Amino acid sequence: MTAPVLLIPTAPHADNIAIINIDNPPVNALSHAVRQGVVEAITEAEQNKNIEAIVIYCQGKTFIAGADIKEFGKTPKEPHLPDVLQRINQCNKPIIAALFGSVLGGGFELALACHYRVAVRGTKLGLPEVTLGLIPGAGGTQLLPRIAGVKLALTMITSGKPQKVEQLEDYGIIDFLISANNSNKDHLLTETILFTKQLLEKNQTSKIISQQPMALNDEKKQAAQVLCQQFRDKSAKKSRGQQAPQSAINSIENSFTLPLNEAMEKEREYFVACRGSAQSRAMRHAFFAEKTAAKLIHSGEIKSTPTEIESVAVIGAGTMGGGIAMCFANAGINVTLLEMSQNNLTKGINAIAKRYQQAEKRGIINNQQVNQCMALITGTCDYQDLDQVDLVVEAAFETMAVKQQIFSQLDKMCKPEAILASNTSYLDIDEIAKATRRPEKIVGMHFFSPANIMKLLEVVATKYTDTQTLTTAMTLGKKMGKISVAVKVCYGFVGNRMYACYGREANMLLLEGATPQQIDNAMVQWGMAMGPLAVNDMSGIDIGYQARKENTARPDDPCYFAAADILVEHGRLGQKTNVGFYQYDEQTNKRSPDDAAIKLIRTHAAKLEIKQRSDISDEEIQQRLIFALINEGAYILEENIASRASDIDAIWLNGYGFPRYLGGPMCYADEIGLEKVVATIKKFQRQAGNTYWQVAPLLEKLLAQDKKLTQ
């Protein structure tokens, strides 16, 4: 393994300029070896009298993209990053950072510790630590306010969102912005060396940000404190329940209320506290869960390279079909939208145009991009027009007969190598595959509504799907910016199968006497984005009702989703009928409790002879819904419907609003301990007296072996 850091004593055409060359693929993360190598290279350069300046340059696709997240959780080894940045600061020769790619976290902090920064256009600068439950831990909360002001520091650090150097030109962070774009890296080295030569010729004194005073007069200090409080309030809503943004704001406030060395010590203290927190463990798990999910587990089969997908078709121009068509257009792929009637097709395309206009109004997309995307979408009512597409996604009516008819038609009309995918949420894709002569090319691509917003894509392998097809669908998902997770066929695949258990318990609690608002408030309090019953009202209670009617394997239990069913049978479908579990104002769509719904449920519970309880606590609600998820997830793992516990977490984080700072249901189970999970499930089994609470054998087995679900 070659050393990731090398000192090149003389740069091309510049004998007095050295290069610290970093080569630590894939993102030049600041591993221990890199940190040590940089310190050693600086010491060596200082001792070489011919060297008058030093350029820090990286190989690969990006400048340093941050600390090595894989090292967190292990015993930190010196030199720690703050020591490295201190070393840069103290160097008696100017150090210039040559920036490109994604300069994130510790990479950006290292650049700020350098004396100068040169970048190519398109370079992204960011401090994304809060997305990992951390705060910048090597001076970022002190250096960025000094060079760019408190407001930009608060914005970038609490959001974690990177910004392009072009957007930051007025802040003086970059000393020389090269006209070449991100891809032209060699140009970057040449220009940086030229820039450094000019520095030396001008004998320019080094500019050290940490030595720049942060002296704000009383008026400005007060204004900055007001700003910090505004960001505290905003983060408390936007990043509800998360500690890191609040710690980051406190550290930024220290940048103008404490002397630098005290503020740096505080920053390190807050960083170490965050790094050791359960929230950061969960968010780091989430980060790697999403990366790992993209990797197919090949049971002995050879890996396949994905087929290049240049043109696709979507069958059905309804809400889902339209959203899916937008996903492809947004990724720059030609998409043909097929509907059975011109009227429905026109309606569908108009609806897409409206969604793009709304996105443009919100500043998410500009008009040129809207036009580019719309130009990629064409409509047809004729299957003949699909004869050259590389892949089709069917998003038609959710009945097996309709889908088998469509796939049979597609099989006849599309070229033999075309992949045919179904967006079905529940139906057995093995059965759909049988309606074709190409079962190996049939796959599920299950998008989540709204398809153009939700990041999750469940890629469902039938028992016939070949590796090439699966790999292509997974890669296509990543190209659309989705978190693709490979799963197998069962009723509801992974997400919806687990969601059915979550909804089952919510319904049982309603029949036992809890109100919709009590259940929803308990789950929002626990950390979910929305309560299950409000979600059900939003998507339409009749959708699940219809699916349960179609589901021949539904439990033979009159109580199963009985609360939802009784509402549907009384015409209460949710928001679309202004009444469901709640009532909705016809003008404002504002949700409010509805005694009529509660009365209907109570009456039905009496018919089912369900004992009413007045002692249902929020904790019981939270445990019954969340432990139902965990238990079903364990069954899913045992049946190999999902390959990894972390895949299940990636699904719940990106498709169902599971709080990221809890890492997903399987990560959460490990964090609270399987002993508590199993004991509580057994308690519910005794209390409910039904078959729903059989502890998954995998949980018992892992508990007996003192192992975790996510290790």
Query: By the criterion CB under 6 A, which residues form the site for ligand T1G?
Result: 26-27, 29, 62, 65-70, 81, 102, 104-106, 109, 128-129, 132, 134, 136-138, 140, 291
Residue among 18 and 65 whose Cβ is closer to ligand T1G: 65
Catalytic one among 129, 398, 458, 505? 129
Sheet bearing 17-22, strands edge to edge: 5-8, 17-22, 53-58, 95-99, 116-121, 176-181
Minimum CB separation from ligand T1G for residue 390, in Å? 23
Q: 344-353: long-range contacts (C-beta < 8 A, 24 or more apart)?
A: 344/317, 345/317, 345/379, 345/380, 345/381, 346/379, 347/317, 348/317, 348/318, 348/321, 348/322, 348/379, 349/317, 349/322, 349/377, 349/379, 351/317, 351/319, 351/322, 352/317, 352/322, 352/325, 352/326, 352/377
CA dist list (Å): 189 to 98, 178, 219: 7, 10, 44
Token pair for residue 327?
A: 């996903």
Nearest residue to 205 via CA among 38, 372, 93, 288: 93
- The nearest distance, CB 187 to ligand T1G, in angstroms, is 21
| DSSP run (H or E) holding 205 | none
* Proportion of the chain in helix, strand, coil states, percent, rounded to 5: 55, 15, 35
DSSP 401-428: HHHHHHHHHHHHHS-TT-EEEE--SSS-
Catalytic residue (one of 40, 52, 109, 632)? 109
Phi and psi at residue 582, to the nearest 5°: -125, 180
| End-to-end C-alpha distance for the chain, whole angstroms | 27
Q: Could you tell me the smallest distance in angstroms from the CB atom of residue 106 to ligand T1G?
A: 4
- CA quadruple 592, 597, 599, 602: dihedral, nearest 10: -120
Minimum gap (Å) between residue 650 Cβ and ligand T1G: 13
- Least Å distance, CB 532 to ligand T1G, is 32
**Closer CB to ligand T1G, 325 or 486, in the complex:** 486
Dihedral Cα 215, 217, 220, 222, nearest 10 deg: 110
Nearer to ligand T1G, 72 or 560 (CB): 72
Nearest distance, CB of residue 101 and ligand T1G, angstroms: 7
Q: What are the contacts of 505-509 at 24+ separation with CB within 8 A?
A: 505/624, 505/625, 505/628, 506/532, 506/533, 506/625, 507/559, 507/560, 507/561, 507/562, 507/563, 507/564, 508/559, 508/624, 508/688, 509/616, 509/621, 509/624
Q: What is the dihedral of CA 405, 406, 412, 417, to 10 degrees?
A: -130
Whole-number minimum distance, CB 25 to ligand T1G, in Å?
8
Judged by CB, which is closer to ligand T1G: 479, or 602? 479
Smallest separation, CB 322 to ligand T1G (Å): 28
Is residue 176 within 8 A of residue 118, CB to CB? The reply is: yes
* Least distance between ligand T1G and beta carbon 146 (Å): 16
Please, which residue, 331 or 338, has the CB nearer to ligand T1G?
331
Beta-strand pair 53-58/17-22:
parallel
What is the C-alpha separation between 605 and 550, in angstroms, rounded? 24
**Alpha carbons 590 and 647: distance in angstroms, whole number:** 36
Q: Output 79 or 593, the one with its CB closest to ligand T1G.
A: 79
Q: Is the peptide bond before 26 cis (omega within 30 degrees of 0)?
A: yes
Q: Which is nearer to ligand T1G, 104 or 566 (CB)?
A: 104
Structure tokens at 199: 């520095």
Minimum distance of ligand T1G from residue 404's CB (angstroms): 38
CB nearer to ligand T1G: pick between 13 and 303: 303
Structure tokens at 592: 């409010």
Residue 167: phi and psi, rounded to 5, are -75, -15
Could you tell me whether strands 334-338 and 419-422 are parallel, antiparallel, or unpaired per DSSP bridges?
unpaired
DSSP code for 180: E
- Per the annotation, the verdict on 129 as an active-site residue is yes
> Would strands 483-488 and 456-461 be described as parallel, antiparallel, or unpaired?
parallel
Half-sphere exposure of 363 (CA within 13 A, CB side): 0
| Side chain identity, residue 697 | P
- Which of 102, 159 has the CB closer to ligand T1G? 102
Closer residue to ligand T1G (CB): 291 or 549: 291
Catalytic, 109? Answer yes
Smallest gap from Cβ 3 to ligand T1G, in A, equals 18
Backbone angles phi, psi at 416, to 5 degrees: -55, -35
Pairing of strands 582-584, 591-593: antiparallel
- 134 or 312: whose CB is closer to ligand T1G? 134
Nearer to ligand T1G, 138 or 625 (CB): 138
Question: Can you tell me the distance from the alpha carbon of 563 to that of 604, in angstroms, rounded to the nearest whole number?
Answer: 8
- Separation of alpha carbons 462 and 473, rounded Å: 13
At closest approach, how far in Å is the CB of 103 from ligand T1G?
9
Question: Which residues neighbour 596 within 8 Å (Cβ) at sequence distance 6 or greater?
Answer: 579, 583
Q: Which is nearer to ligand T1G, 138 or 337 (CB)?
A: 138
User: Torsion over CA of 385, 391, 397 and 401, rounded to 10 degrees?
Assistant: 90
Q: How far is the CB of 705 from ligand T1G (least distance, A)?
A: 27
Active site residues: 109, 129
